Structure 1
Amino acid sequence: MHCLADVALTPVGPAEYGFEEALASCVPILEKSGLTYVVHDGGFTIDADWQAATDLIGLLHQRLHDAGFERVHSDIRIGTRTDKAQTMQDKVDTVERQLAFPEQ
């Protein structure tokens, strides 16, 4: 099943670096996965198969633990559709069209 998984990560505890550096340290894992993703202020949105997305979230948690964070909290919102295929970019394009030509 295909999904869009929005993941906000919060690493807690002693570590060598701060929040932004912690998120940046996750990017190589995202790149290596080959999945489509975008970075946002608190984490990432992943456009992938359900299992691949949730497996990747586990790898991100492990990366942050390996970096020295004692706890990692995730807020995860996952959306699926059965009526049509829709990417993250499709959703952005729809909003931008509304901004350009709002209904009157």
Structure 2
Amino acid sequence: MAQSASQNGLYAVADFCLIPIGTGEPSVAEYIAECVRVLEKTGLKFKMHGYGTNLEGPWSQVVQAIHDCHAAVHAKGASRIATDIRIGTRVDREIPPGTGNESKVQRVEEILKRAQATSP
């Protein structure tokens, strides 16, 4: 088992989409900005994208960060929140902290480059 899994618990690479409901506003950007403020304080690596956020770190910290986003968005006035979460873990190799999602994307890009180089 990889060191990160055995010594620090499972390392998680997550993608989550937090959706404030019942805000009465057409845009949820203010609520998402509040969630980003929470994530910035965690010290975890995250990257916002058009329909969610990639977040990675120790499982317990990732789940706590999503919980804290919910609490902050409720405190900002959203009475309901729906969140979709996908979490991946692996224990067959070491994942250097902060590189889980980046390495997944890089691997696919390398495959595509090789295919381009060998195509006529």
Gaps in structure 1 of 5+ consecutive residues: none
Deviations 1:3-27 (Å, cap 9, x if unpaired)?
1111111100126782122212211
* Structure 2: distance between partners of 1:83 and 1:3: 13
> What is the count of residue pairs matched by the alignment?
104
Q: In structure 1, what is the equivalent of residue 3 of structure 2?
A: none
Q: In structure 1, what is the equivalent of residue 37 of structure 2?
A: 28
Is residue 2:109 matched to residue 1:100? no
Q: In structure 2, what is the equivalent of residue 61 of structure 1?
A: 70
- SS of the aligned residue for 2:91 comes to coil
TM-score in terms of structure 1 length: 0.89
Equivalent residue in structure 2 for 1:44, among 40, 46, 53: 53
- SS of the aligned residue for 1:18 comes to coil
TM-score in terms of structure 2 length: 0.78
Between the aligned residues of both structures, percent identity stands at 35
- RMSD across aligned positions (CA): 1.8
* Structure 1: distance between partners of 2:24 and 2:43: 28
4+ residue stretches of structure 1 with deviation over 6 A?
A: none
Gaps in structure 2 of 5+ consecutive residues: 1-9
